[in-house]
């Protein structure tokens, strides 16, 4: 989708293990976002980035950390996965602060 790739697409992991999800873009967009999607909650913002090494917390950031060492990559890490973090995770990119987002295809994460 418009030069944005999420990996892996599916992952099953055990409670207590660390997990890293990757978002890679080829659009050279400055702004990148991580959301989680759960039934009845829509999409909730986890973390976002305004550039390399410039990140900020969203409304549901507890238990998650992010890193952006290159413009094209935005990594989301679950430090110690819990069952409540079972969800579909979406990365989004935006060219400008005023504009709409382009979303990736998502990563379905199951924590057992």
Partner 1 sequence: QQQVKQSPQSLIVQKGGISIINCAYENTAFDYFPWYQQFPGKGPALLIAIRPDVSEKKEGRFTISFNKSAKQFSLHIMDSQPGDSATYFCAASRVDTGRRALTFGSGTRLQVQP
Footprint on this chain of partner 1 (rule: CB under 8 A) = 1, 33, 35, 40-45, 48, 50, 56, 58-59, 90, 92, 97-98, 100-106
- Burial class from Cβ neighbours inside 10 Å (0-12, 13-18, 19+) for residue 57 reads middle
Instruction: Name the nearest CA neighbour of 75 among 14, 12, 18.
Output: 18
50 versus 69: smaller Cβ distance to partner 1? 50
| Nearest residue (CB) to partner 1, 75 versus 88 | 88
Work out how close the CB of 14 gets to partner 1 at its nearest, in angstroms, rounded to a whole number: 25
Alpha-carbon gap, residue 64 to 34, rounded angstroms: 10
Q: Is 16 helix (H, G, I), strand (E, B) or coil?
A: coil
14 vs 39, which CB is nearer to partner 1?
39
């Amino acid at each position: 989708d418009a030069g944005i790739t999420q990996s892996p697409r599916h992952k099953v992991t055990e409670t207590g293990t660390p997990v890293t999800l990757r978002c890679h873009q080829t659009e050279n967009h400055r702004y990148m976002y991580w959301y989680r999607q759960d039934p009845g909650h829509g999409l909730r913002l986890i973390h976002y980035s305004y550039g390399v090494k410039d990140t900020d917390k969203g409304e549901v950031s507890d238990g998650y950390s992010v890193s952006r060492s290159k413009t094209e990559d935005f990594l989301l890490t679950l430090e110690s996965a819990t069952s409540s973090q079972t969800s579909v995770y979406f990365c989004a990119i935006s060219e400008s602060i005023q504009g709409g987002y382009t979303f990736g295809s998502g990563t379905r994460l199951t924590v057992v």
